[in-house]
Amino acid sequence: MASVQDIAVSAVINFISALVFLLAFAIVRLQPINDRVYFPKWYLKGIRASPRSSGSFVNKFVNLDFRTYIRFLNWMPAALKMPEQELIGHAGLDSAVYIRIYLLGLKIFVPITALSFAVLVPVNWTSGETLDHIEDLTFSNIDKLSISNIPSGSKRFWAHVLMAYVYTFWTFYILYKEYKTISTMRLHFLASKKRRPDQFTVLVRNVPPDPDESVSEHVEHFFRVNHSDHYLSHQVVYNANKLAELVEKKKSSHNWLTYYQTRYERNPEKKPKIKTGFWGLWGKSVDAIDYYTTEIEKLTEEEAEEREKVICDPNAIVSAAFVSFNSRWGAAVCAQTQQSRNPTIWLTEWAPEPRDVYWDNLSIPYIQLSVRRLLMAVALFFLTFFFMIPIGFVQAFASIDGIRKVLPFLKPLIDMDVVKSFVQGFLPGIVLKIFLILLPMILMTMSKIEGFTSLSSLDRRSAAKYHLFVIVNVFFGSIITGAAFEQLERFLHQSPTEIPKTIGVTLPMKATFFITFIMVDGWAGIAAEILRLVPLVMFHIKNTFLVKTDHDREQAMDPGSLNFSVSEPRLQLYFLLGLVYSVVTPILLPFIIVFFAFAYMVYRHQIINVYDQKYESGASFWPDVNRRILIGLGISQLLLIGLLSTKDASQSTPLLIVLTILTIWFHNFCKGRFESIFVKFPLQDAVVKDTVERTTEPNFNLKEYLHDAYLHPVLKGVEFEVSKEVDDEESNSLVATKRTSRWSSKTVSNATSEDQKMVSEARLVL
Amino acid sequence: MASVQDIAVSAVINFISALVFLLAFAIVRLQPINDRVYFPKWYLKGIRASPRSSGSFVNKFVNLDFRTYIRFLNWMPAALKMPEQELIGHAGLDSAVYIRIYLLGLKIFVPITALSFAVLVPVNWTSGETLDHIEDLTFSNIDKLSISNIPSGSKRFWAHVLMAYVYTFWTFYILYKEYKTISTMRLHFLASKKRRPDQFTVLVRNVPPDPDESVSEHVEHFFRVNHSDHYLSHQVVYNANKLAELVEKKKSSHNWLTYYQTRYERNPEKKPKIKTGFWGLWGKSVDAIDYYTTEIEKLTEEEAEEREKVICDPNAIVSAAFVSFNSRWGAAVCAQTQQSRNPTIWLTEWAPEPRDVYWDNLSIPYIQLSVRRLLMAVALFFLTFFFMIPIGFVQAFASIDGIRKVLPFLKPLIDMDVVKSFVQGFLPGIVLKIFLILLPMILMTMSKIEGFTSLSSLDRRSAAKYHLFVIVNVFFGSIITGAAFEQLERFLHQSPTEIPKTIGVTLPMKATFFITFIMVDGWAGIAAEILRLVPLVMFHIKNTFLVKTDHDREQAMDPGSLNFSVSEPRLQLYFLLGLVYSVVTPILLPFIIVFFAFAYMVYRHQIINVYDQKYESGASFWPDVNRRILIGLGISQLLLIGLLSTKDASQSTPLLIVLTILTIWFHNFCKGRFESIFVKFPLQDAVVKDTVERTTEPNFNLKEYLHDAYLHPVLKGVEFEVSKEVDDEESNSLVATKRTSRWSSKTVSNATSEDQKMVSEARLVL
């Protein structure tokens, strides 16, 4: 157990490291050369011009104005300055609401902390009888402030029960108020939005096959009959995955061609050669320029063929369509009603924004969807509880003996002392780390297999899965030692009343561990986030070796985005810790408050200056956030029951069970009161907007406007933009250009967006 | 433990008692005097005339045609003769589908029984090693046929696991097929129905208050704006509960007046007197005719006043309305969409049939509804698990000592030996029995408090509550001795893996108990149902003392109805028993098959000849039936896991857990595939019906048709029909007439329908 001194030392270290990060950030960000790393959002908006376009040569790279260094923390007030309305306009509602989660943490925990220090800390401190007598257990001073300091059966526990009530109702109150505010914000946001295709469009899935009609005709006839006054047009969905692949391949070849051409131009003596085999490592050596030229010709032909095929072949049309209506009312009605007597066909739902559509999943039949969800649920269970088994297996394999056995030719190498100690000391940890880095991708893949049709819903589902993983493996995994599946087995053989006791009794002892965790992950981690070390390094690598055109430079700057599917569940851990320890060890609360306050500022800065969201869902994730905080509250109450019943205060159990039931009820109440605002579009608002629009623009041609809004992006006839020649000023060494996949990820939709997610997720994983 | 002989004896006894009931039924029903007891349905339909209107005097009361007695079982083929389509037309879809549940039992269990006897019985029988050695445990011969006969760790258990798989998939297959059939039947039924008000009407609740407009104006404006093309008219809901009370009171006074007038006419010497005090037991003695005449005058005045008040006072209008549309499409759209941005106001749902509306619950605000549901959920929990505590308390009070203490003046009476033994022997049992008789009413009251707006949904909710009670207190209560709250406590202190073991291990031993239970409750109980002893006696009592007019006689015959809220959960117990014992003790299955076959015939006969349903919900209870059978299946699988793991065959656990997961998945699949057919009305069908109707009756005045369909029945201006003079032929003694509450239950809606439910439920409770 760590003592107060240990905690203090750790606090100082982490505080200093956070400070170092912040100082580094302050210095690095002021250099013009890094401007695109720290203000990409403004570049993307086209508002900010490169500060290097003026001034002396040195000034272009290094900031020599020392006055700016003195105000090295001035980004903080700047971040807080932008009013919320402007923030929503600037960064979107998703981001604006996301940082409100941190604010919510402050709103919940600041009063709770004040109360805890006013009431519980004195109650605990003045009851100093128990721990002084116990010599064998290593209780620290911190425990003198915690519930551990109170002797079994003491009447003082009523103070804790009372506080549990107060905290619960306070949390309810704040959550309710916040839910209400965010509902209003969402409705206001949706109402004030300009005309957008998704307001008029419904995604229809599982169009039943018809022997006499094509999918397109069938859809048209169906909606002409059943929504006769409102149907406007429809857009069938093409299965363009192969075409997207070809386009992608051609683009890559094009990039290579440009690269070799540039090389040849600079060094005309030596014709560039490449090997045709795997990754250019072996195979026949051929002339690179010729090779890619023929390659591109071939691909262009294939692409044209495939494009022809996709558009003409009826089999390339999947059983889904985007149906548009002549009013928001018509679309709202169609999205919310059941069309056919068989509820597994003609499924209608709101169309996501065009850029939010996940095209690959539009054509999954109902029964297959049902089987997929079952399989993924089972897989998630095994992943959560048994992931240590394959990891352990790989770790065993990655040991000295394992390597010696399987790769005997490495024997001389690994027998070296340095290598040996590295393998023994780090390899198992690295294996686990790699798994943890890959985990969000695995969860995202699982969500994709489940068949969700929009990126935002994929994010939300992945977040739910990750939240389960964090609760089981980080929270409970830290409290009870042993792998998750061992815990699971132990719990299966314990009575339901024993489980909270087992966990509850170890709770106070783990407080110091979690305090350290908060400082490392929360304080220093957040400070590292603002420094953006990985994007900084990546930008400079790309800028040096790959950037050829302005467009390339735009690609090279990786603004990243709030990765909801990873960061939100990790954030929930802090709510959980705060709620659990608010009654047990209040000393932990200030650390959480510092985290929330600091993170709020950092992320507010980031969404203003850095992040670029991929889609806008109108804060549709809020019901999940609300639910997860309430799950945390419920866990905290159950653990308190367990803890108190090991302290001979089990007469408080019924009182606390009432609290748990109230929590469940409050969740259901919130769900009934607010959730549909995030799912449905009320007719009243639809009518209002329709009427306004009809009055102001009576002659607007909606059909034209919706014409190809929901065409698969690869079919939209976007051709490659001819790259403008690079401007020398910025590219230090003119090695051109294997473009990053950003542009393609926009064009070919989501085929390669995982790569980026992976990078940003990698940064966020502990 | 009962041996085979005991079972055989019990079987014979129950078989004979069933036969006695059937014989009694055959004889009694052929007497013309009982015709109205056994064929009320036909009288209500106006098809059947009294057989007593012709023939000799004796023939009017007793059937002397001995030929008819020979064919005393001929009601059975007669009951089976009516084809299903005709049955639906005759008795409604609810009844026709209800008896299909029995048929479903046969479809599931006949093949399972055949397989069990072909495979499992030989497997169990030939493994006769274990039980021969155990002398101290009283295993019966029946156990030689059960799984108990197989030694621990035997490989033979694989046969049971395999069979569990086969039975599960067979059940899935049959359930899926049945769900599909019933969906089709429902859709066909809805489609073939003639025009009905509820097809065009939506119930709107939680109309928000408006300072400037009345509820009626507010509703009209809202729907004129938001459903401009489809809104037709609306009907506000009056709070007419007090008026209904007055009408009821006046009617009762009217009955008494008629009674005393008749008495005075017959015996003019003696003026009838009554006492004005409590129940006519004490108080001033006054002239009865004068008293009731003034009473009626007073009530008539009050009623007129109240009627005025209800119609004119804006406060008598509750915040709900029935809104009608000019097409089914418009109504379907409005019922399925969200109207306002606040999802707790302007709540729309399909209007129930006018006779299905539960008027009292139409005006409960959202938050109150939410609190009510919470309270009722908690109450249900305590009722289910802790009902024995108050019962035990009353039982203690109802003991000899308790009575001596509280009512000392009864001491001489209860010290008599006969009374003493009666009190000691029967009173505790009677207390419990009274509770069990009252239970369905308690559950119904709880459902009413929860705020459901139609009788059918009240029935369904009560059934769900009763099902929980039956599973906990009858099924688990019989397997594990001790009151439910003791079991609950024990289970809370046991691990989740221990619970199925504890129950599983006692399962085979309880088989004989359940066989006896099936024979008593299932065989003899069903035979008693067809005899209708209580309605028979009641009819003759009423006919002798109360009937004055033909209309009274119509009232006196109590057709009763299928009481879904009680009979369906009890029926589910047989499914549960069958599924649980199909693998464990297959010898139980034939008893269940006999029950299902016999009950099917009896209930088919009853719905054809006797029952008169109060409403028609179009089989909307089927999702519940399907779910509960799957709950039974899940319980059977969990118990098998427990049983096998006590038999050293726990390697089968993963296989059986897969089965449980599949069961949950199948439930979700069915829900997704079919449930919305029972909840929503697809637009496609609405359009078809609208189009057909518009073509065939282009000039139909829908507004006129819907004019007062949803007016509170007490406001419909129904006046008392003047009773025609009684026809002497049938009334043996002319004592007139305190009318039964049937007529009023139709008129004043549900105010008194509980009484009848109580009677029919009392019949059904064990």
Annotated domain spans of chain B: 4-192+370-678, 197-352+682-722
Q: Choose the closest CB to B495 out of A226, A329, A493.
A: A493
3-state helix, strand, coil in chain B (%, to 5): 70, 5, 25
Q: Choose the closest CB to A492 out of B497, B661, B680.
A: B497
pLDDT tens-digit map of A719-752: 333 333 333 333 333 333 333 333 333 333 333 3
- At residue A399, φ and ψ (nearest 5 deg) are -85, 170
Judge: B672–A227 Cβ closer than 8 Å, yes or no.
Answer: no
Q: Choose the closest CB to A340 out of B341, B495, B684.
A: B684
Per the document, the length of chain B is 766
Judge: B341–A685 Cβ closer than 8 Å, yes or no.
Answer: yes
How high is the pLDDT of residue A467?
Answer: 93
Judge: A339–B673 Cβ closer than 8 Å, yes or no.
Answer: no
State the CB neighbour count (10 A cutoff) for residue A340: 18
Interatomic CA distance for residues B704 and B648, integer angstroms = 74
B747 pLDDT band, cuts 50/70/90, is very low
* Chain B partners within 8 Å of A227 (Cβ): 683
Q: Hey, which of A52-61, A522-531, B35-44, B349-358 has the most confident mean pLDDT? A: B349-358
Q: Terminal CA-to-CA distance of chain A, rounded, Å?
A: 23
Q: Is the pLDDT of residue A140 over 60?
A: no
Interatomic CA distance for residues A80 and B276, integer angstroms = 81
Judge: A661–B378 Cβ closer than 8 Å, yes or no.
Answer: yes
Judge: B668–A370 Cβ closer than 8 Å, yes or no.
Answer: yes
H helices present in B349-483, as ranges? 366-386, 388-397, 400-406, 411-414, 417-450, 455-469, 477-479
Interatomic CA distance for residues B260 and B271, integer angstroms = 9
* Chain A partners within 8 Å of B496 (Cβ): 491-492, 495-496
Judge: A672–B370 Cβ closer than 8 Å, yes or no.
Answer: yes
How high is the pLDDT of residue B643?
Answer: 87
Q: Choose the closest CB to B337 out of A332, A344, A491.
A: A332
B192 CA to chain A: closest CA distance, Å? 15
* Chain B partners within 8 Å of A496 (Cβ): 491-492, 495-496
How high is the pLDDT of residue B579?
Answer: 94
Strands A347-350 and B317-325: unpaired
Judge: A495–B492 Cβ closer than 8 Å, yes or no.
Answer: yes
A311 CA to chain B: closest CA distance, Å? 30
Among residues of chain B, what percentage have pLDDT more than 90?
14
* Chain A partners within 8 Å of B187 (Cβ): 341
Q: Is the pLDDT of residue A764 over 70?
A: no
Helix orientation angle between A157-192 and A93-115, rounded to the nearest 10 degrees: 160
Optimal mutation site among A337, A349, A381, A680, interface B, most CBs of chain B within 10 A: A337
Residue of A nearest to B332 (CA): A337
Q: Choose the closest CB to A344 out of B341, B495, B672.
A: B672
Judge: B374–A665 Cβ closer than 8 Å, yes or no.
Answer: yes
The H or E element that residue A231 is part of is strand A231-238
Instruction: Show Cβ contacts of residue A183 under 8 Å, excluding neighbours closer than 6 positions.
Output: A674, A677, A678
Interatomic CA distance for residues B559 and B528, integer angstroms = 16
Dihedral sign, CA of A522, A525, A529, A535? negative
Tell me the pLDDT of chain B averaged across its residues: 78
Q: Which of B456, B476, B454, B455 is nearest to B467 (CA)?
A: B476
Tell me the pLDDT of chain A averaged across its residues: 78
Amino acid at B340: S
Question: Across residues B432-452, what is the average pLDDT?
Answer: 87
| Cβ density class A235-248: b for 16+ within 10 Å, e for less | bbbbbbbebbebbb
B463 CA to chain A: closest CA distance, Å? 23
Judge: B492–A497 Cβ closer than 8 Å, yes or no.
Answer: yes
Q: What is the DSSP secondary-structure string of A614-651?
A: S----STTHHHHHHHHHHHHHHHHHHHHHHHHTTT-GG
Q: Choose the closest CB to A370 out of B494, B669, B674.
A: B669
* Chain B partners within 8 Å of A340 (Cβ): 682, 684
Residue of A nearest to B495 (CA): A495
How high is the pLDDT of residue A749?
Answer: 37
* Chain A partners within 8 Å of B645 (Cβ): none
Tokens of B278: 């409590």
Q: Hey, which of B55-64, B81-90, B487-496 has the most confident mean pLDDT? A: B81-90
Interatomic CA distance for residues A28 and A36, integer angstroms = 12
Beta bridge partners, A347, equal A205
CB-CB contact of A465 with A487 (8 Å): no
CB-CB contact of B283 with B766 (8 Å): no
Interatomic CA distance for residues B462 and B456, integer angstroms = 10
Please give, one letter per residue, the 3-state secondary structure of B269-297: CCCCEEECCHHHCCCCEEEHHHHHHHHHH
A651 CA to chain B: closest CA distance, Å? 15
Interatomic CA distance for residues A257 and A737, integer angstroms = 9
Rama region for B151: left / alpha / beta (φ>0; ψ in -120 to 50; rest): beta
Optimal mutation site among B172, B329, B337, B364, interface A, most CBs of chain A within 10 A: B337
Q: Choose the closest CB to A683 out of B338, B367, B661.
A: B338
* Chain A partners within 8 Å of B206 (Cβ): none
* Chain A partners within 8 Å of B494 (Cβ): 495
Residue of B nearest to A186 (CA): B341
pLDDT tens-digit map of A494-511: 777 777 777 777 888 888
Q: Terminal CA-to-CA distance of chain B, rounded, Å?
A: 23
A661 CA to chain B: closest CA distance, Å? 9
Judge: B665–A338 Cβ closer than 8 Å, yes or no.
Answer: no
How high is the pLDDT of residue A530?
Answer: 80
CB-CB contact of B3 with B142 (8 Å): yes
* Chain A partners within 8 Å of B333 (Cβ): 333, 337
Among A41-45, A611-615, B161-165, B544-548, name the one with the lowest average pLDDT.
B544-548
pLDDT tens-digit map of B93-126: 888 999 999 999 999 999 999 999 988 888 888 8
Q: Is the pLDDT of residue A227 over 60?
A: yes
Instruction: Output Rg (C-alpha) for chain A, integer angstroms.
Output: 29
How high is the pLDDT of residue A51?
Answer: 54
Judge: B374–A675 Cβ closer than 8 Å, yes or no.
Answer: no
E strand residue ranges, A105-162 = none
Tokens of B314: 């804006």
CB-CB contact of B207 with B321 (8 Å): yes
Of residues A204 and B726, which shows the higher confidence score?
Answer: A204
Tokens of B424: 């000691």
Judge: B332–A337 Cβ closer than 8 Å, yes or no.
Answer: yes
Optimal mutation site among B183, B230, B338, interface A, most CBs of chain A within 10 A: B338
Interatomic CA distance for residues A609 and A25, integer angstroms = 14
pLDDT tens-digit map of A48-77: 665 555 555 555 556 666 666 666 666 777
In terms of Cβ atoms closer than 10 Å to its own Cβ (0-12, 13-18, 19+), residue B276 is exposed
Q: Choose the closest CB to B226 out of A227, A339, A684.
A: A684
Q: Is the pLDDT of residue A384 over 80?
A: yes
For residue B424, the Cα-to-chain-centroid distance in whole angstroms is 33
Q: What's the pTM? A: 0.80
Measure Cα distances from B309 to A269, B182, B186, B242, B301 in Å: 106, 47, 42, 11, 12
User: ∠ at Cα A593 (A502, A625), nearest 5°?
Assistant: 70
Tokens of B564: 């879904």
* Chain A partners within 8 Å of B183 (Cβ): 341
Question: Across residues B489-495, what is the average pLDDT?
Answer: 73
A370 CA to chain B: closest CA distance, Å? 7
Tokens of B605: 């006969």
State the CB neighbour count (10 A cutoff) for residue B310: 20
How high is the pLDDT of residue B211?
Answer: 83
Judge: A684–B341 Cβ closer than 8 Å, yes or no.
Answer: yes
Q: Is the pLDDT of residue A175 over 50?
A: yes
How high is the pLDDT of residue A304?
Answer: 84
Tokens of B746: 């139709």
Judge: B227–A332 Cβ closer than 8 Å, yes or no.
Answer: no
CB-CB contact of B92 with B99 (8 Å): no
Interatomic CA distance for residues B322 and B349, integer angstroms = 10
Q: Hey, which of A705-719, B59-73, B560-574 has the most confident mean pLDDT? A: B560-574
E strand residue ranges, A384-473 = none
Q: Is the pLDDT of residue A38 over 50?
A: yes
Question: Across residues B518-536, what is the average pLDDT?
Answer: 80
Helix orientation angle between A589-609 and A564-584, rounded to the nearest 10 degrees: 160
Instruction: Show Cβ contacts of residue A709 under 8 Å, excluding neighbours closer than 6 positions.
Output: A197, A201, A235, A322, A354
Among A76-85, A305-314, B225-234, B740-749, name the one with the lowest average pLDDT.
B740-749
Judge: A668–B337 Cβ closer than 8 Å, yes or no.
Answer: no
Residue of A nearest to B690 (CA): A226
Of residues B645 and A419, which shows the higher confidence score?
Answer: B645
Optimal mutation site among B225, B326, B333, interface A, most CBs of chain A within 10 A: B333
Q: Is the pLDDT of residue A440 over 60?
A: yes
Among A359-373, B276-290, B541-555, name the one with the lowest average pLDDT.
B541-555
B722 pLDDT band, cuts 50/70/90, is very low
In terms of Cβ atoms closer than 10 Å to its own Cβ (0-12, 13-18, 19+), residue B418 is exposed
User: HSE (CB half, 13 Å, CA atoms) of A551?
Assistant: 15
How high is the pLDDT of residue B282?
Answer: 66
Instruction: Output Rg (C-alpha) for chain B, integer angstroms.
Output: 29
Here the contacts of A457-460 (C-beta below 8 Å, separation 24 or greater) are: A457/A352, A458/A358, A458/A565, A459/A564, A459/A565, A459/A621, A460/A564, A460/A565, A460/A620, A460/A621, A460/A624
- At residue B341, φ and ψ (nearest 5 deg) are -70, -20
Residue of A nearest to B668 (CA): A370
Judge: B340–A682 Cβ closer than 8 Å, yes or no.
Answer: yes
Q: How many CB pairs under 8 A join A and B?
A: 133
A573 CA to chain B: closest CA distance, Å? 27
Does the complex come out with an ipTM higher than 0.95?
A: no
B422 CA to chain A: closest CA distance, Å? 41
Measure Cα distances from A518 to A141, A409, A514, A521, A593 in Å: 19, 44, 6, 5, 10
Q: Which of A535, A451, A478, A549 is nearest to A206 (CA)?
A: A451
